[in-house]
Structure 1
């Protein structure tokens, strides 16, 4: 029986490369090792495609609703979007540099800041948020699919609902979700290093939808619409402007925190940098500007309420033109762009990064593909249609997770760029015992914990006040501080972590060692008795090479 169980466990292990020089262990598998040269396939134009997908999406389109709700005028909102997009690009460069330089993702990067065991905390936090957001993205993707099929078959748009009212889910929405998921499932099987073409196709479709709606709206309204010329209503323009910038940073914060998940596929240094600094702000700004103009003009054309979500706008357009053939054709092609955008953004911001995070939790049995499917199951199991329709407070809480993401970003940036100055001992990032300089105290770095919660606690009163829609005057300043979540949380954790490391220097500062020795990946075969984390691999000529202690002094350097 014991032998049979061991065989089952062996078969459940994730696949390895042929002739691999690594083993699947507690800390390592194919998706966690530093990206080998043959898998670094992303160049400048590939990263332009990545950011056009990230910046040209339904979330960017709807950004204007957030900014105008802060009391900004449309023109002021456009200025905020441009500046916020540029700052997002700078943040992406900073957070993605370890991927460009050392070819490791966020999951492994967390180990040198939090400790080998402590790294589970930020990874689990990101997995939780990503699963919830995937459920939302899938639900919106299903609705876009429903609109697309409703353009082909008008009766589908008015299909009889067979679900109870309490389910908050229409039958045609459910069918749209099933169709969208059927398209998403095989997309997960495409390796991240081969996603450039799907991203390019998605961008072309979505760009066509955006500019098609823009032409329709401006032509029929005779301009950008009356709402576009309305003045701002903010009592304090400076606060509103800052709130707007932090809203932009917060919206793309999780994506920038995990930038190294993608930059590790760069085929040369600086390949992602130009797209981060140029494509990111341009695509975010252009999409948001088009969203503001189309929303303003469509209100005048359709004579209804302000419709920020383009999915519902397309549905209203088809109804307004009584499902005429021309209207249905336009709605079909526009909704096709929205469907493809939801597929691409779910891969960019959810699937690959979450799959890698889950792989970090159980590398022997989970890789990116398996982790992505687990994420999808959890995301759908949360019944996002219930959350969207009935739990406004829950959505505020979910959005408030920026309170935790911002300090996590501050810790990572301070450690890599200021404390360690981009010098890592890569082999120790895969060593699960006290011989690793990243073991700290029983696998946990207390400095990261203190810095993290230093950045979190000032923002919690404002989060509570926002979730409860508090009107208490004593909460005003706390809520204002909370509205600056990403800037404040990142800055506090960054400074506190840097100070703690100056006063209490961690071991191994300035030490460097490769994960690759003489063009051979080494590491992680047999497990140590301490925590089943360390292993061995083969060097040249079949010689066994240990990982954990510095077995390669010729490759290690210590800076003064």
Structure 2
């Protein structure tokens, strides 16, 4: 006899740990609760591993193209990367503090700033950006896979295209994407607290690719290349330097906003801090510097146009040397590093954070793993090859989402560090009614929305001017302001939110409380006193507590 609908619904719910002290509700599941001690598996070196894949990636390699576009010279660009990396590390420390203290991620943290219902706004916003970025990261991962296959089978690199020209997709790229996705999807089965070894493997391969290309470029060009010594082309180095810094912050802004998604796995306080302050600027700066030098040397060696994307550079190298066996072997091992890099960055900045955001929208039926699958489907359904090929403005618009991420970051920092001063009533973050101190007015904190739009609107004219290539006249000031997006948006929203809370303080500031009672979390409670022989009284189990 077939199962009834209530039974089917129950089977579709997210798994619950054995002897769990929570239930799947509108606000809670296994991936949204404060991480219990047995799942806090990240120490100092684990966070170094996290930042090696977050800071050493293709995006960091290509950062030089953005900085040189601002008119900076290569050596000035390196200085910008160092300063920007340090600031990104400091921002990561500030954004990740609630994860270290309360072991909650961005999805749940949004509730004390925006309200229980209002938190859906930043969560949906970040989910949308993550899905779009994943689509492009997956496409680049597929192209790295295509280059790797082409190094084994040279004819594959020149494979005839069987797709219509209007699809803007090559058959070889499609095959590479399918293979990359087949490798990525099983990776979603790995729980976030178990990713340390995969991080190490990915970093090792990508590091080998970077230094292999660096050795090739410097040895063949007998130095860093002519472009490396070119002077600055901007009359205003100060503005360009500031533009470069905010570009670095914008590139890693979404990652720093969600730092608590990862710091909540810390096995002790301050475990992430050292890596955030050292590994963050070090990995970003070294990778970007290598990218600048290799790009400079490759132009001198092979001529032609500058190629900032290392994936396409590897394909060009194989063509330049006529697919000789030695070069094909080198390209094969280097492209493996690119494949692994795309895998790791998609996990770090996309699947885990997006999966938890989607879990926050429907906790009964979506957890991080299922959210990752949904993200993968949406990301590929956007047909990133179409977007990259036919929409010249698309990347500018997507990059412009820093206009929204910066104010959200400012609100979170002001609320946690200044308004609430690190004090949270954690249990109320999982209570969806007026008994929660984070219910505000019908589940929405109006202060957050006012601060958000106050920090966003001054940047919109500059975004429109940049996307539509407006320049000169009245647009110059707006575009310059937009180029400082992350600094300006964060500062305005931070200040406005703090002022609003000063004059209109929310209820119950300063109250603290755990997710559940400590005696319940650890499953035992002791009766008072000892027996006549001095032995401890019998420990008894405490009934499971659920958060409704």
2:380 is aligned to: 380
Task: Give yes or no for contact 1:22–1:521 (8 Å, CA) kept in 2.
Answer: no
What are the superposed Cα offsets for residues 246-270 of structure 1, whole Å, 9 maximum, x if unpaired?
0000000000000000000000000
Q: For each residue in 1:371-422, what CA deviation from the matched residue of structure 2 results, as whole angstroms up to 9, or x when unmatched?
A: 0000000000000001111111111111100000000000000000000000
Residue 542 of structure 1 deviates from its aligned partner by 4.5
Q: CA deviation at 1:37?
A: 0.2
TM score, norm. by length of structure 1:
0.94
Matches within 5 A, 1:469-488: 469-488=469-488
Gaps of 5+ in 1: 523-539, 549-560
Count of residue pairs the alignment pairs up: 533
Whole-Å separation in 1 of the counterparts to 2:209 and 2:519: 47
* Equivalent position SS for 1:59: helix
In the alignment, does 2:294 pair up with 1:294? yes
Equivalent position of 1:529 in the other structure? none
Deviation for aligned residue 1:507:
0.8
* Paired residues of 1:53 and 1:344 also in contact (CA < 8 A): yes
* Residues 2 and 521 (structure 1), Cα distance of their counterparts in 2 relative to 1, 3 Å cut: farther
Would you say the 8 A contact 2:86–2:281 is kept in 1?
yes
Aligned to 1:190: 190
**CA spacing shift, 1:543–1:328, aligned 2, 3 Å:** closer
Q: For 1:287 and 1:338, how far apart are their aligned partners in 2?
A: 13
The question of 1:118 aligning with 2:118 is answered yes
Q: Deviations over 1:212-267 (max 9, x none)?
A: 00000000001011111111111211100000000000000000000000000000
Residue of structure 2 in register with 1:368 after alignment: 368
Deviation at 1:89, TM superposition (A): 0.1
Q: How does 1:22-101 map to 2 (within 5 A)?
A: 22-101=22-101
Structure 2 counterpart of 1:430: 430
Structure 2 counterpart of 1:229: 229
Cα offset, 1:471, TM superposition: 2.4
2:313 and 2:320 mapped to 1: Cα distance?
Answer: 10
The structure-2 alpha-carbon separation of the partners of 1:547 and 1:381, relative to structure 1 and needing over 3 Å to count, comes to: closer
Segment drifting more, 433-442 vs 466-475: 466-475
Alignment partner of 2:138: what SS?
helix
CA distance in 2, matches of 1:279, 1:195: 18
Answer yes or no: is the 8 Å Cα contact 2:137–2:346 preserved in 1: yes
1:261 and 1:353 in contact (8 A); partners too? yes
Does structure 1 conserve the Cα–Cα contact (< 8 Å) formed by 2:411 and 2:448? yes
Matches of 1:500 and 1:26, distance apart in 2? 30
Corresponding position of 1:218: 218
Note if contact 2:451-2:494 (Cα within 8 Å) is conserved in structure 1: yes
Partner of 1:244: 244
Q: Is the 8 A contact 2:27 2:430 kept in 1?
A: yes
Quick one: distance in 1 between partners of 2:516 and 2:156?
Answer: 56
8 Å contact 1:34–1:104 — kept in the other structure? Answer: yes
Given that 1:428 and 1:547 are in contact with CA atoms closer than 8 Å, whether structure 2 keeps it comes out as: no
Which position in structure 2 is the counterpart of 1:393? Answer: 393
Deviation at 1:472, TM superposition (A): 4.2
- Partners in 2 of 1:356 and 1:334 — Cα distance? 32
Q: Corresponding residue for 2:260? A: 260
SS of alignment partner, residue 470 of structure 2: coil
Alignment of 1:161-200 (within 5 A): 161-200=161-200
The normalised TM-score by structure 2 is 0.96
Aligned to 2:324: 324
In the alignment, what sits opposite 1:341?
341
